[in-house]
Structure 1
Amino acid sequence: MAELILNNVSKHYGNSAAVRQLSLTLPKGEFIALLGPSGCGKTTTLRMLAGFETLTEGEILRDGHCLARPGWQVPTEARNIGMVFQSYALWPHMSVAENVGYPLRHRGIRGQDYQRRVQEALAIVQLESLAERMPQDLSGGQRQRVALARCLVTEPDVVLLDEPLANLDRHLRASMEESFREFHQRTGATLVYVTHDQSEAMSLADHIAVMQQGELVQWATPETLYQHPRTEWIASFIGQGSILQVPAIPAGQQLSGEDLRQLSRGIASGKSALDKNHSDKTTAVLIRPEHIRLHTSDTLLNDLSTDNPLQGRVQRSVFRGERHEIALQLDNGSLLTAYHHQAIAPGSQVLLQVLQGWSLESAA
């Protein structure tokens, strides 16, 4: 296990900055995700950790020792860092066992130690029975596990994974997520996992670094990112939710009880950013679908527990398996997404109660 520290790290390509003054501490033994859209700098960051890219500014430390700074760096092969690529990068003329053992042969390891380490690596990814097969005879998920075993065989302190599930279908991605989770639990290595898929990051990582345009915009646990995102962009990128503009309130505030009753009165009165004639300052508030209670005509009399219900019209109802996703438009023009146990016909009028909200920082 190793702790990695990125201290004001930047990477420029000509006049273009791929990563800007990134400062981040990656704790020992954690599963860490670098999450963001294409072009946000997450893969460049991973390649700097691996030693494939030089630094323009800043430094990278491992356990207090410098790995890289402008003009100098520890060679990739001397970092004891393993990497799993999106493309698998398996040798087609080598068997599974030979592919896994290739890094050991490159280091001059032979004999019983070689055989033992190859077998142990294959056992961790549950591929012992396929040791003699060729890569072309394997499924996509099996090839990815071979790439993982090849990384593991050198017993690295840190494992870097560059969008390893991007080439797999949904079923195989779910299976491989469990493989990565088990791999982390068994090895205790520090894992740094690059992905643009927020569901992967949320289900696997202990902490997530969300990146946008080369910069770190939030570092938090998956639960904190979902419940308490900093900005409107993060709130829209992580999970589902609706953004309402309400009369100005402090950012970073959990809204419930009387706060929500006042919020509902403000929305109902039309004092929102959607009202072009209203010039007062506003604050963006995140409302997750599970924090909206709908009251349809058949339940209203039995389940109306708020004195300030909002009125809305159903725009569409989409069946999602375990629930229906309801798109609503409020009387003042605001849009909301809610969940309900049954379909509601488009055009239906409903009353709704907001149970919880979170105020966000301004875009500036």
Structure 2
Amino acid sequence: MSEVLDRIWQFQQVSRVELVEHTGLTSGTITNLTAELIELNIIREFEAVSGSVGRRRVMLGLDTNHYRIIGLDIGRATIEIVVVDLNGTIIRTIERDMSDRQGPEQYFEVIGPLLSETKQEIEQAGYVILGLGASVPGPMDYNTGNLLDPPNFPGWSGFPLKRTLEERFGMVTLIEDDARTSAMAERWYGLGRNVQDLVFITMGIGIGGGVVSGGKVSRGTNGLCGQVGHMTIVLDGKICDCGNRGCWETVGSIPGILGRWPGGNSMEQLKEAIKQGDSEALRCMEDTLTYLETALINVYNLYDPEMVVLGGRLYPYLADYLLPVRSHLRSRLYAFAKDRLRIEPSTFGTSQSAVGAAALLFGFLLSEPVRLLSLAEGS
């Protein structure tokens, strides 16, 4: 069943005949499996369309009329809640500034009422909630669902996030590092639908990375795979909160950039100073782009991705420089690989992590649809 569902997701709309061709299953098996998926309200038949020789076919696609998924992004300065359908279409989004709050207790004073209200509204509208996905700065213990001293995120060390969410809101809950959820948003709903190997880099208060290899997210032995913000960029540089020295995050994140520029305390001010031709602002941006290019060439050589996707709250301030960054990278890549270089902006902008959190549940649905529906209906 999961193979059939995966093909329907991949092609978005596909006929039963095409499913036989793509899966190698018999027409009888395809008929039975698609009937079960329709009965479960996961897929539905779409209006018949004319085939190339005039024959009319019934197409199958995801049913967006029955299920909803909630995504929660817990960030260092904001929280965001999104509600999506099975296609990843954002139905509702709620964002709150958390810059004046610190630690789980103060955060949940905001998260609690918003999540409860969102859940109630979805259920009153007649939809079934498949579950709650949560993204949060890592690292974390995936066996317990507890956070493990995330850099630049005081008060969260050891916090049992997964258990807290499950107990308070009674939904199937999955949690993941925010950079990996961002990567999964692209994998399931965005640019990575037909890409097996990609790296998502999120840049904001911190810098993180999510690696998709062979279509699956990679965590590594200690959950540190993709921690690109903590590769050494400046020898003998500033000590990072992670314990390393000269990390990209110390010079390339928003605090790192503003810490190198004495002319103001916001990216908007830096942007305006650059427009005015301020020499120190121009030098700061030039250095920032050099650090970015150095990090990206390391990412390409280490992970060999088909695509690198850039996002996060810093990206809009770097977007205008993407063409020269691509050009410089091509000059530094292996000659046989440079023409395949793909660097793209994220699909969902500042909502990337929250949408990716919801995508955790969608991935669960594709792999084990019956089990997830059983858990969702029993929660």
User: In proportion to residue count, which structure has more helix?
Assistant: 2
For the pair shown, which has the larger CA radius of gyration, 1 or 2?
1
Whichever structure has more strand as a proportion of its residues is 1
Which TM-score tier does this pair reach, normalised by the shorter chain?
under 0.3
TM-score w.r.t. the length of structure 2 is 0.23
